[in-house]
Amino acid sequence: MSRRKSPRDEIPVPTQLPPVKELEDQDRQKAKQRPRIWLWTLVAALAVVLMVVYVVILGALGIYDGLKDRARQSQQSAKEHYELGLAYLEAQDYELAIGEFEEALRQDSSLQEAERWLQEAKELVRRQVTPTSETRQDAVRLLYTQAIDFYEKGDLEQALGVLDELYGLDTEYQRENVETMLTTAHYQLGQNAVRADQLEDAASHFEALLVFDPENKDAQDQLNLLNLYMAALNNWEQDWPATIQALKGLYTLAPEYKDVRFRLRDAYLYAAQDHADQGDWCRASDQYAAAVEILPVESTVDRRDDAAIRCQATAEAPTVTPTGRAAARATATPTAPAASATIEATATTASRAPGNGQIAFASFDAVRGRTDIYVVDLSQGDARLLWENASQPAFAPDRKRLAFRNLDPEHLGLGVLDLDRNELRELTDHVEDSMPAWSPDTLQLMFASNKHGDRKWRIYAISPGAVRGEGDEWIYGHMPVWSPDGSQIAYHGCDERGDNCGVWLALAGGFEPKRLTSDASDTAPVWSPDGSEIVYISARAGNWELYMVDVESGKETRLTEHSATDVAPTWSPNGNKVAFLSNREGGWAVYILDVRSDRVQKVIATGDGYPDPVSEQLSWIP
């Protein structure tokens, strides 16, 4: 069958189609529209840019106008400050004028007239005679009123703050009153801090007072006491000897200071226990005895007695050695009580003797609880008993009599022993009477006593021929001694308020007293034979040492420097040496210091530890 042809097969397809007229017209129309769209876009963009520029110009013009207004305001303000400055300058309120001129220049630095008047005002302030302007004076007066108000109300902290501010503004304003309030406030606040155990604060108050008033001895004395107490606390449980030394010095100066009495007792007990733990019963006994002297508690007494028995049981009998060490058995004079003790003496041969003559000293026997007086001959090195139950020996210048403190319960007071006849005279009858000292002509004896109800130490003079006399009261003080010419006395004293303590001098009779040394702990003075120097002891360095002061110039010199206790100085008859008591080798002994060479030589051991070493005294005769 043949395929039937379709109409499509009959129409030939051209190789290129003719353009469609309608499509071509549409294309031409679109081509004509494109340029117009871009034109309008460009025009719109230009319009936006022009608008922004316009706005920016308007803003700039506004800022410019604002700056111009501000500049005009600054200039106006500068002018006002300038005119105020001129007004203050005319009123002679120069400091306020300076402030106005500086403000005017800050707002308008081109104001040359303000700069000129500023310099003028500064020059006028510099030339002013008065240190402050009226405005400052007003402020000072206001502060002064506030300080008085706080001070009278007892608000010392607030008063101190206001006073410090006032003093910083004007050191001359009501100076006497301001200084009185400052001194009192610092001192009282320091005392309050001590009582509250705020020791660092207390020290800062006393130190601040001394910066403000370096010559204030009250503050210096309180600071010294505080430093001793703090030294004891710092050494507590670390170094008992150092603790005891600090507390002993403090206790001697101020026995009622805080809890020093109980602390010293406890320190002795702890030290004694340490010695007992090491089997050193003799030292333990000494420490227990010292604790009993502070507070005689029964349990402590029992410990002391037990340690003393153990010490006696373990003690070795003394033997002679090549160095001359020997035991000297004490022998009593016919009228003296029989001696029953043996003391160990370190003697030197005559060729090696550190001096000539005889030295009287007291020896404490811890086992018997008794103090006896011995005398050692330096040329031979032996010691003999002079009197039992006695201490503080003092040879008369004529070497015929010995005054001492009698500790016999039936004969308490001061006694005078006739060395040729061995006869005793009971000079006074108060247990508190102590520290006898002969006048150069031997017609009077001075002594110290706190026998009155106020327990204050006073110095008395009495005839050595008196019997149970009271003596004539001379002056408040302790540990008196005559000058070699008899015109003056040296003693441990204080001023009328009980402050500024130390070694003082006065005319015989106690007239015209004046302070000689610089530390409150200075005590136990002794004159050199020529009267030019005085040796004394002081705890100013934390423990008792020997010092010397030139009587004329007041220059002070330290003679010993040792961790032990050095006390009871006395001059040699020729003035070249000083004898003293010390425990520098563990036990107590008499030592001699050559003042020229500083050489120290041990003379003789004196027995057990003294209950109160500071109150001991030696006496040296040719």
DSSP 8-state class, residue 608: B
Q: Which amino acid is at 584?
A: R
**Of all helices (H) and strands (E), which one includes residue 569?**
strand 566-571
pLDDT in tens, 471-515: 999 999 999 999 999 999 999 999 988 889 999 999 999 999 999
Residue 248: per-residue pLDDT? 83
Report yes or no: 533 and 550 within 8 Å, Cβ to Cβ: yes
Lowest mean pLDDT among 24-38, 43-57, 174-188, 608-622: 24-38
Give backbone dihedrals phi and psi of 447, rounded to 5 degrees, phi first: -155, 170
* Burial classification of residue 54, based on how many CB atoms lie within 10 Å of its CB (0-12 exposed, 13-18 middle, 19 or more buried): exposed
Domain with CATH 2.120.10.30 in the chain: 325-621
* Burial classification of residue 217, based on how many CB atoms lie within 10 Å of its CB (0-12 exposed, 13-18 middle, 19 or more buried): buried
Residue 132: per-residue pLDDT? 45
Q: How many Cβ atoms sit within 10 Å of the Cβ of residue 561?
A: 11
Edge-to-edge order in the sheet of strand 600-607: 566-571, 577-582, 588-594, 600-607
Q: Which of 168, 166, 208 is nearest to 185 (CA)?
A: 208
Q: How far is CA 70 from the centre of its chain?
A: 64
Residue 63: per-residue pLDDT? 55
**Of all helices (H) and strands (E), which one includes residue 507?**
strand 502-507
Joined tokens for residue 57: 């110009």
Q: Which of 267, 276, 269 is nearest to 234 (CA)?
A: 267
CATH of 325-621, one of 2.120.10.30, 2.60.40.650, 1.10.3720.10, 3.40.50.620: 2.120.10.30
**Alpha helices for 337-443 (secondary structure H):** none
d(CA 274, CA 283): 10
Strand partners, 325: 346
pLDDT in tens, 533-579: 999 999 999 899 999 999 999 999 999 999 999 999 999 999 999 99
CATH topology of domain 222-315: 1.25.40
Residues counted in the chain: 622
Report yes or no: 434 and 447 within 8 Å, Cβ to Cβ: yes
The predicted model gives 311-324 an average pLDDT of: 47
Q: Which of 521, 616, 522 is nearest to 568 (CA)?
A: 616
Report yes or no: 582 and 563 within 8 Å, Cβ to Cβ: no
Q: Which residues are CB-neighbours of 107 under 8 A, at least 6 positions away? A: 74, 75, 77, 78, 81
Q: Which residues are CB-neighbours of 442 under 8 A, at least 6 positions away? A: 396, 397, 398, 401, 464
Domain with CATH 1.25.40 in the chain: 222-315
b/e per residue, 469-486, with b = 16+ CB within 10 A?
A: bebeebbbbbbbbbbbee
pLDDT in tens, 273-289: 988 888 888 888 888 98
Residue 487: per-residue pLDDT? 92
Give backbone dihedrals phi and psi of 241, rounded to 5 degrees, phi first: -60, -45
**Of all helices (H) and strands (E), which one includes residue 329?**
strand 325-329
**Of all helices (H) and strands (E), which one includes residue 474?**
strand 472-476
Residue with tokens 């508690």: 297
Report the alpha-carbon angle 500-544-387, nearest 5: 105
Joined tokens for residue 134: 């009226």
Residue 110: per-residue pLDDT? 78
In this prediction, residue 53 has a pLDDT band, given cuts at 50, 70 and 90, of low
d(CA 92, CA 89): 5
Residue 327: per-residue pLDDT? 32
Q: Which of 611, 13, 543 is nearest to 242 (CA)?
A: 543
Residue 19: per-residue pLDDT? 54
Query: Would the pLDDT of 14 be above 70?
Result: no
The predicted model gives 101-107 an average pLDDT of: 81
Q: Which residue has the higher pLDDT, 577 or 217?
A: 577
Q: Which amino acid is at 172?
A: E
d(CA 452, CA 469): 15
Report yes or no: 345 and 351 within 8 Å, Cβ to Cβ: no
Q: How many Cβ atoms sit within 10 Å of the Cβ of residue 196?
A: 10
The predicted model gives 195-205 an average pLDDT of: 88
In this prediction, residue 333 has a pLDDT band, given cuts at 50, 70 and 90, of very low
d(CA 464, CA 486): 16
Query: Would the pLDDT of 26 be above 60?
Result: no
Query: Would the pLDDT of 447 be above 50?
Result: yes
Share of the chain residues as helix, strand and coil, in percent rounded to the nearest 5: 40, 25, 35
pLDDT in tens, 119-161: 888 877 776 644 445 677 778 888 888 888 888 888 888 888 8
C-alpha separations of 563 from 289, 441, 458, 541, 574 in Å: 21, 39, 32, 10, 29
Q: Which of 223, 246, 225 is nearest to 234 (CA)?
A: 246
Residue with tokens 């104001």: 111
In this prediction, residue 319 has a pLDDT band, given cuts at 50, 70 and 90, of very low
Residue 1: per-residue pLDDT? 42
Q: Which residue has the higher pLDDT, 181 or 131?
A: 181
Has this prediction a pTM greater than 0.75? Answer: no
